[in-house]
Structure 1
Amino acid sequence: MTVVEIPGSKSVTARALFLAAAADGSTRLRRPLHSDDTEGFAAGLAALGYAVTEDGQDWIVEGRPQGPANDADVYCRDGATTARFLPALAAAGHGEFRFDASAQMRRRPVGPLTEALRELGVVLVHEENEGHHPLRISARGVKGGELTLDAGLSSQYLTALLLLGPLTEQGLRITVTDLVSVPYVEITLAMMRSFGVEVGREGDGKVFVVPPGGYTAVDYPVEPDASTASYVFAAAALTGREVTVPGLGQGALQGDLKFVEVLERMGAEVRIGEDEVTVAGAPGGRLSGITVNMRDISDTMPTLAAFAPFADGPVRIEDVYNTRVKECDRLEACAQNLRAQGIEVETGRDWIEIKPGAPKPVEIATFGDHRIVMSFAVAGLRTPGVTFDDPGCVRKTFPAFHEEFAKLRASWGI
């Protein structure tokens, strides 16, 4: 059995940074993810006047419940959480704030969130394309109240507003008409609870009632990233090996851990303990075809798509339209690369179906997307010679991915 340590969760780290900044007191974040996205988030907080310092692997954040300390121009890099959460944090303060992002992030929508902020009285202007970065906010605090939100493209719109709620004068009552990636919202609610805020649910769970009153600083451990762990689990299933990831288990916050249930349906053995998860591939890496809805775990869609040709029947992944508005159009990126490898693929608006085959070694077009690289690196375990046009884009979430994956391959003699 091979034991692999996975870096901290990107999703949890981003939320923890927001909560720590908004809390009353000093918060220690233990073993957060250190990557381009999370370091960009921390740099954004620093630009807003929050004190973020490193202590070994930990981050210490001095909270400012009253909001940012100064006017600021914040560059969000490629980070969607940075680009969506920090404008909400700034809106709760007082001052003039400008937010911009990379060309990749500028293409990704923020309109549902910024329209909701406007509905709450926030003075906000998109400088170029409506619903996209760059944008300016003239903040005078947020009174709060009721609003309706469509979070069908990204659950991050809802998370940003939930995080904002306790910083408003009256709290928020948010009615959600559509919602994707529900487990990520559950992460948000659980973490808000850890920082002292309990969000109510009404109307069959579609109405979120967020009280005012602010957050309390805590000592917060960041669990390993379940999305990143999906590559290790998939590698074991694909090669017939066994791997254990500590730090994730029955009490894990992250919904992407449900990816192991997909692997189990395909023939792998899965054991989930209190504080570790083990996946053992079937002999020879035998995999069954599958039809699966991945709406709630869509970040792991490329992981499955990349190694799907090795299954003994078609693999059909459904209800993943939101993957078209990620760092790239992930659904189309997977289809394009699989076809380049000689695999028969069909796609629709929100689905992809991949037929069994023997992928050829080609240079994978990454589209600057870290998940495309890591997913096809896993598939490359059975297709020697696969290369990437931009292998370095993994720095977004896992800068040491290639080195750590090489160690895993060496331990398995692949």
Structure 2
Amino acid sequence: MPAVDIPGSKSITARALFLAAAADGVTTLVRPLRSDDTEGFAEGLTRLGYRLGRTPDAWQVDGRPAGPAVPEADVYCRDGATTARFLPTLAAAGHGTYRFDASEQMRRRPLLPLTQALRDLGVDLRHEQTEGHHPLTVRATGVEGGEVVLDAGQSSQYLTALLLLGPLTRKGLRIRVTDLVSVPYVEITIAMMRAFGVEVGRETGGSQGNVFVVPPGGYRATTYAIEPDASTAGYFFAAAAVTPGAEVTVPGLGEGALQGDLGFVDVLRRMGAEVSVGPDGTRVRGTGVLRGVTVNMRDISDTMPTLAAIAPFADGPVRIEDVANTRVKECDRLEACAENLRRLGAEVATGLDWIEIRPGVAGSLRGTEIKSYGDHRIVMSFAVTGLRVPGISFDDPGCVRKTFPGFHEAFAELRDGLR
């Protein structure tokens, strides 16, 4: 199979847009992801008065360290969690009145730990309907900074938003984190802040939890290349793992990659796939062996549905643990996986933070319509199942536009290459 061209990382593109908007000067983002989520983020920046220029391969952002250029704005965040959490935080550093709303799906997703932390820092932020959810209004007068306590046990995005805000405050931030999931995403944030001229300090251990220290002083503009999306690459790596003799290579995603979700290939290696991570890319080859595993996916939970979708093909049970936070994503991903696997004929058990899938008897799985719940990751994960189970369809195949509008075409090309 030839190399697969994976679009840019959603997580990195969103952070890069925030950093570029906050930086002093014009930043060029090379190969940003163009999807519904990132287009929504860019549109939100434009509504706040930031200037963006676009070419086929790059976006240019005219940064404003003082915050939004307009005194008031209404921003619609679509389905994007990064948009819905990062942009109100960015707006708080400016001066004006900014109202944020989102889709019904995003309105259901929690926000309170972040908004409470912003309030503790003196930000006038009000939820207009349900406390802790969109819509909300920020009446911004800048942020003084100081010390704040944060529970990031539901989403690391709460911590990322505050880290990104830190250099825009007058005194900097000292963030004490009492709980934290998806640690690799925080590592992405810190590495990217360094690329824009800010070094985050850390203190660990003791009863005080983890403390992140962010200096004031702002960001400097730069040229920043967006690496391929590791979560998206996971569907293609999984496709190779479940197909004996198949091989998939993703260039540009190898040693030194920022994204923790590349660690999914280590799970595939434990299951029996042949994996090679080099300086220029990562290769996975199916060996015809797919072993059962028990794996803690707290730090790579976006790849949980991918593993769940191929679990019936393993020779023993696949148990995925410590993924309670997947219940508050675009949908309750843990239950969505369980329901769809049962519809396929698999034997599944679930708990508050775990799912266990038992191997299917040869020929026991049957094609069915997958219930997507509007969640791109459910559709893309079960597309991999469809490589081994004929007759799988989706009730909302178009929801992949959130992160990969061309997914179905790219996966069809992959399927043809694996035959």
Confirm whether residue 211 of structure 1 aligns to residue 215 of structure 2: yes
1:107 alignment counterpart: 108
1:50 alignment counterpart: 50
1:356 alignment counterpart: 359
- Structure 2: which 5+ residue stretches go unaligned? none
Query: How far apart, CA to CA, are the structure 2 residues paired with 1:44 and 1:275?
Result: 34
Query: How far apart, CA to CA, are the structure 2 residues paired with 1:175 and 1:108?
Result: 23
1:389 alignment counterpart: 395
Calculate percent identity across the aligned residue pairs.
74
2:19 alignment counterpart: 19
Q: Is the 8 A contact 2:14 2:41 kept in 1?
A: yes
* SS state at 1:99 partner: strand
Bigger CA drift: 296-305 or 335-344?
335-344
Query: How far apart, CA to CA, are the structure 1 residues paired with 2:200 and 2:418?
Result: 46
Query: How far apart, CA to CA, are the structure 2 residues paired with 1:260 and 1:3?
Result: 16
Confirm whether residue 247 of structure 1 aligns to residue 248 of structure 2: no
Query: How far apart, CA to CA, are the structure 1 residues paired with 2:137 and 2:3?
Result: 47
2:385 alignment counterpart: 379
Query: How far apart, CA to CA, are the structure 1 residues paired with 2:395 and 2:142?
Result: 45
1:407 alignment counterpart: 413
* SS state at 2:276 partner: strand
* SS state at 2:353 partner: coil
Deviation at 1:359, TM superposition (A): 2.0
Deviation at 1:350, TM superposition (A): 0.2
* SS state at 1:309 partner: helix
1:293 alignment counterpart: 296
Query: How far apart, CA to CA, are the structure 1 residues paired with 2:108 and 2:52?
Result: 29
Confirm whether residue 302 of structure 1 aligns to residue 305 of structure 2: yes
**Aligned pair count?**
411
Deviation at 1:203, TM superposition (A): 2.7
- Structure 1: which 5+ residue stretches go unaligned? none
2:142 alignment counterpart: 141
Amino acid at match of 2:91: A
Amino acid at match of 1:242: E
Deviation at 1:109, TM superposition (A): 0.4
Query: How far apart, CA to CA, are the structure 1 residues paired with 2:220 and 2:194?
Result: 10
Amino acid at match of 2:233: A
Query: How far apart, CA to CA, are the structure 2 residues paired with 1:119 and 1:95?
Result: 19
Query: How far apart, CA to CA, are the structure 1 residues paired with 2:266 and 2:372?
Result: 27
* SS state at 2:254 partner: coil
Amino acid at match of 1:295: R
Confirm whether residue 340 of structure 1 aligns to residue 343 of structure 2: yes
Normalised TM-score (structure 1) = 0.99
1:272 alignment counterpart: 277
2:128 alignment counterpart: 127
Q: Is the 8 A contact 2:92 2:142 kept in 1?
A: yes
1:60 alignment counterpart: 60
Normalised TM-score (structure 2) = 0.97
* SS state at 1:64 partner: coil
Query: How far apart, CA to CA, are the structure 2 residues paired with 1:274 and 1:298?
Result: 25
1:369 alignment counterpart: 375
* SS state at 1:243 partner: strand
1:320 alignment counterpart: 323
Matched ranges for 1:149-164 at <5 A: 149-164=150-165
Deviation at 1:87, TM superposition (A): 0.4
Query: How far apart, CA to CA, are the structure 2 residues paired with 1:135 and 1:412?
Result: 48
Amino acid at match of 2:279: E
* SS state at 2:148 partner: strand
* SS state at 1:334 partner: helix
Amino acid at match of 1:395: R
Q: Is the 8 A contact 2:243 2:418 kept in 1?
A: no
Pick aligned residue for 2:266 from 255, 261, 266: 261
1:237 alignment counterpart: 241
Confirm whether residue 118 of structure 1 aligns to residue 123 of structure 2: no
Amino acid at match of 2:241: A
Deviation at 1:2, TM superposition (A): 2.5
| Deviations, residues 286-305 of structure 1 (Å, cap 9, x unaligned) | 20000000000000000000
2:229 alignment counterpart: 225
Deviation at 1:341, TM superposition (A): 1.0
Amino acid at match of 2:230: A
1:175 alignment counterpart: 176
Amino acid at match of 2:23: A
Amino acid at match of 1:33: L
Query: How far apart, CA to CA, are the structure 1 residues paired with 2:17 and 2:169?
Result: 18
Query: How far apart, CA to CA, are the structure 2 residues paired with 1:203 and 1:223?
Result: 29
